[in-house]
Amino acid sequence: MIVKQIWTGNAYRNFNYLIACPETGEALAVDPLDHEKCLGAAKEAGWEITQVLNTHEHGDHTGGNEAVIAATGAKLLAHENAKDKIPNIDRGLGAGDVIRIGKTVEIEALDTPGHTMSHVCLLSRTDTPALFCGDTLFNAGAGNCHGGGHPDELYHSFATQLAKLPDATLIYPGHDYIANNLEFTLDREPDNARAPELLAQVAEQDPAEALVSTLGLEKEINTFFRLHSPSVIARLREAFPDLPDEPDEKTVFIKLRELRNDW
């Protein structure tokens, strides 16, 4: 499996992806908003885009579908429940469905509601797994829920699916928000040891050569995976004085998501 992360350079800071089979050169384009860059990158690599996949229905993820499909004849894949929101889906995806790319690549669809209620993440079946997580999980952050999602569902997707993946899992999010999100981590957990060094490292990075994190790293620097941290809980209590002595994970997650909305 070859992964090409494509930095769009737009105001929303989207990342698009090409996932290719090294044997056949067939490729799947994930959320190819910047259709010119995606088509150009495929051409340069000698790949043929045969499938387009939307992680969810938001326009900054679906906006390149038409142009890519017109140029390539690719099939369109998205969550089975997105069929009324994304036109012309060829294949609706449910939890556990397998997407094949060429001869060598197999990717599993995870049903991960929360950012929207029809959001899929993709998990590659490779020695080192790779997770394409759209707007569910960001580097050092979590997706918002005000475009058709729900924080209860987002917590559930994190706790029951994403947090259980191997620490070595490579994280490929839908946007470059890492620097801003690390500032949120430091606001919520001022004594986080890893976040300041990582922030110094990524502050000056070219998003076209972005750091690819792992789930293990996210567990160190992403507040939404640090729900038992005493300093996260102590800081949270300053904003929510009624917080119980030992708040459950879900309460901490949802309060953090609430604070992040206005941060």
Give the interface with Zn ion as residue ranges (CB under 5 A). 58, 60, 135, 174
Q: Of 166, 162, 171, 163, whose CA–CA distance to 212 is shortest?
A: 171
Choose between 60 and 66: whose C-beta lies nearer to Zn ion: 60
Choose between 47 and 224: whose C-beta lies nearer to Zn ion: 224
Choose between 8 and 185: whose C-beta lies nearer to Zn ion: 8
Through-space distance between the first and last CA atoms of the chain, rounded to whole angstroms = 38
Q: Of 121, 116, 110, 49, whose CA–CA distance to 86 is shortest?
A: 116
Both tokens of 87, joined, read: 């036109």
Least separation, in Å, of the C-beta of 164 and Zn ion?
A: 23
Count CB-CB contacts under 10 A for residue 242: 5
Least separation, in Å, of the C-beta of 56 and Zn ion?
A: 6
Choose between 116 and 222: whose C-beta lies nearer to Zn ion: 116
Choose between 31 and 220: whose C-beta lies nearer to Zn ion: 31
| Cα 6 to Cα 3: distance, rounded to the nearest angstrom | 10
Chain-centre distance for alpha carbon 77: 17
Stated as kind and residue range, the H or E segment containing 6 is strand 2-7
Query: By the 8 A CB rule, do 162 and 122 touch?
Result: no
Both tokens of 89, joined, read: 């889906």
Choose between 58 and 235: whose C-beta lies nearer to Zn ion: 58
Least separation, in Å, of the C-beta of 12 and Zn ion?
A: 6
Least separation, in Å, of the C-beta of 199 and Zn ion?
A: 22
Least separation, in Å, of the C-beta of 19 and Zn ion?
A: 18
Least separation, in Å, of the C-beta of 38 and Zn ion?
A: 16
Both tokens of 61, joined, read: 């993820």
